[in-house]
Structure 1
Amino acid sequence: MLYESLLLLGVLSVTFMLPNILLGLAGNMTMPGWLLQLHLLSVLLIYFVWFWLHGGQTLAMKTWRIRLESTITGKTVVLPQALLRFALCGPSVLFFGAGLVWAIFDRERQFLHDRLAGTRLITLT
């Protein structure tokens, strides 16, 4: 999680820099708060969903040799599964990590958001 956060810091820095530079040059303007939040959510959504759909691994997941796959097909997830997993990850972590603690008690050691989205993390050999 920490490694993924460091990678995302770089991605977010670049994606926030360009619009802010352009707005600053256009007349010392700044983006409204709601637009900044929408921008942040959009960048995160595109980052995770893109990597999950194209090989099932983000950059950090490749390093740790973990892949996301569908529990239905055993192959790469489809768009609805990726979007649902993304939507459920936030609440899973924000509710005191309840969705992460779930994995301790789950017979297959899967997170709650993975169970609900029909996905699973597998370790590559």
Structure 2
Amino acid sequence: MNHLKDRIRHSSNNPVAGLTRRLAAMIYDSFLLFSIWIALGAFIISPIRFSIYGLPEGNDSWSGFPFIIQILLTCLIVVTLAGYYFICWRKQGQSLGMKAWRLKLQSTNGELASPKQCIQRSIIAPFCLGFLGLGYLWCLVSSSRGCLHDQITDTEVILIAKEK
């Protein structure tokens, strides 16, 4: 039997999403997130630079931010990323990329993921991707077809049928 056609069906009677669709949705989401980060740079980070260093004169380049401000700005970017996914997952179970690829995050009982599950996913999923993608590749060998962070957080990403 072809394992792609014979996907495991879960509580919603929809098949679990495959790795290709998950990665495509993340790439789609990255375009929106990069736009948000550019806006952060334009409306938050640049004014901070101007207030600390003033306008550059001639060929003088700005010196870097102090280390503590670098940490705070990095935290701002991470919180923006986690907040985007948290809001999308809690509101309707889908980010923009997940909508485009007809994916939905839900708890294994078929309901929207709880706030605790969304926070856990926001923390664990980057590590699953960061360690050579092993947490995502887990779905290729797992009997439930879920990624490692799906199993840890008791959630699933399902494929939604096309609307007619």
1:54 corresponds to which of 91, 96, 119:
91
Residue 66 (structure 1) shift: 0.2
| Aligned twin of 1:101 | 137
Matched AA of 2:75:
L
2:159 and 2:144 mapped to 1: Cα distance?
A: 12
TM-score by length of 1: 0.91
1:83-94 equivalences under 5 Å are 83-94=119-130
Indicate the RMSD between aligned Cα atoms, in angstroms: 1.5
Identity of aligned residues (%): 27
| Aligned twin of 2:40 | 15
Matched AA of 1:28:
Y
Residue 114 (structure 1) shift: 0.7
Residue 33 (structure 1) shift: 1.1
| Unmatched 5+ stretches in structure 2 | 1-25, 55-64
1:24 and 1:104 mapped to 2: Cα distance?
A: 46
Q: What's the CA shift string for 1:37-87, capped at 9, x where partnerless? A: 11111101110100000000001100001000001x311111000000111
Residue 21 (structure 1) shift: 3.1
Moved more, 97-106 or 26-35: 26-35
For the 8 Å contact 2:28–2:96, the answer to whether it is kept is: no
Equivalences, count: 124
Moved more, 113-122 or 11-20: 11-20
| Unmatched 5+ stretches in structure 1 | none
TM-score by length of 2: 0.71
Residue 20 (structure 1) shift: 2.1
1:1-125 equivalences under 5 Å are 1-28=26-53, 30=65, 32-71=69-108, 73-125=109-161
Q: Going by fraction, where is helix more abundant, 1 or 2?
A: 1
Residue 15 (structure 1) shift: 2.1
Residue 12 (structure 1) shift: 1.3
For the 8 Å contact 2:89–2:118, the answer to whether it is kept is: yes
Bigger relative contact order (CA 8 A; separation at least 6): 2
2:98 and 2:49 mapped to 1: Cα distance?
A: 36
